[in-house]
Amino acid sequence: WSKEARETYRQTNAAIQRATESLTGTFAFNTAIAALIELSNYLGSVSDRAHPTFAHGLMCLIKMLSPMAPSVGEELWEVVRESGYLQAAGHTAATAPASVFAESWPKIDETALKQQSVTVVVQINGKVRFRLEDIDAGQSQEDLIRAASEHAQAKKWLFDSSSGKKKDINKVVHVPNKILNIIV
């Protein structure tokens, strides 16, 4: 799968989790609707709409919307049935249910909720200097310091301009998968 397809699948499962918890645990319908709006906005920005993860996300969105807006859910389901997205998600024309209410609530894939790559903001002396994009999630502090030291923009902040030697690091503040702050 492409990076976008993996993110689409992750966003879909995150929305399923939030909506399920909101509707069954706290009965907070507003947060369930907020999760559906976030998923809808994300699906609207997806460029590869032919990938099965997009069809899966769209079907899950409609299934979760249906209990709160039954008429809209049923109409959207009919449009999706006629457009062929059900076939992209694994249904055949014969097995595709005529009504969204014949479908079960979407299941959460817990493994999809884990991010595989993250963007880590690198601060030097408390100011944002650059970002490390597509870093494997869960990398150690030492690996991040090494990656930050090798970054082109880090040279002017971590190395002495006259001698070219690396400056001493006094303190490091690391928030896993989010921020690396290096104090020199």
Question: What pLDDT is stored for residue 164 in this prediction?
Answer: 76
Among the residues of the chain, which ranges form H helices? 3-21, 29-45, 52-65, 70-83, 85-88, 141-150, 155-158
Each residue's pLDDT, cut to its tens digit, for the chain (184 residues) gives 788 888 899 899 999 999 999 999 888 899 999 999 999 999 999 988 888 888 889 999 999 999 999 999 999 988 888 877 766 666 666 677 788 898 889 999 988 877 677 889 999 988 999 998 878 787 888 888 888 888 888 888 888 778 878 888 889 999 988 899 998 8
Collapsing DSSP states into helix, strand and coil, what is residue 182?
A: strand
Question: What pLDDT is stored for residue 13 in this prediction?
Answer: 93
Closest CA to 103 of 58, 140, 147: 58
Question: What pLDDT is stored for residue 52 in this prediction?
Answer: 86
Spatial strand order of the sheet with 117-124 comes to: 127-136, 117-124, 179-183, 171-175
Among the residues of 49-122, which ranges form H helices? 52-65, 70-83, 85-88
Closest CA to 149 of 173, 182, 178: 182
Question: What pLDDT is stored for residue 89 in this prediction?
Answer: 63
Give helix then strand counts, H and E, for the chain: 7, 4
135 forms beta bridges with 118
